[in-house]
Amino acid sequence: MSRYVIPSKIFLEMGGWRQPLMMVDRIDDFKKGDNGYVKVTKHITYNDPYLLGHFPDDPIMPGVMIAEIFGQASEYLSLLTDICEIYQEKFNEEMKTLRDIHARINTDEMRHIIRTRRAEVRGVLAAQNLKFKGVAYPGDSIEVTSKLAFSDVHGFKHYSVSACAGKRLISNGTIINFREVK
């Protein structure tokens, strides 16, 4: 786990999701740039509402919910990248990592950038070629990595995603995100 945790109140402001579809518990790492990525964690508990019927006697994490974690992680990657670029434009200071963001996260200027950008951006996600190779159970923590593979000429961003429970790869594939700014 990273030493540079985003405080929970600010974390809620960053995401456009609430329970029961808030599928990222923590951002563990972030790097901006050509080889940029985000790493996030989702802890699975018996209390998660989607586990009640999937399957009652032997609950496993539904694949569609893993796909949702992929989508949310990819949006966090886009949002954190936006925040770094806006901050650099306004204050002429470069931020590239979660450590850089963490150092400024409690300033009024950074909170304003986060709130403003979250309110401006809307988008849709699509899953492509997701492969499910294993299962995750209550008590597992799913660790997801999302990397920007490329952006196409139509404004769609394609992310290479993978999910592991411990050392077990449980899913990988591509998430496509189209974002528009109001």
Q: Which active-site residues does the annotation give?
A: 54
Strand partners of residue 180? 122
Residue 36 CB partners (closer than 8 Å, separation 6+): 30, 77, 81, 147, 148
CA 85 to chain centre: 18
| Residues listed for the chain | 182
Residue 12 CB partners (closer than 8 Å, separation 6+): 18
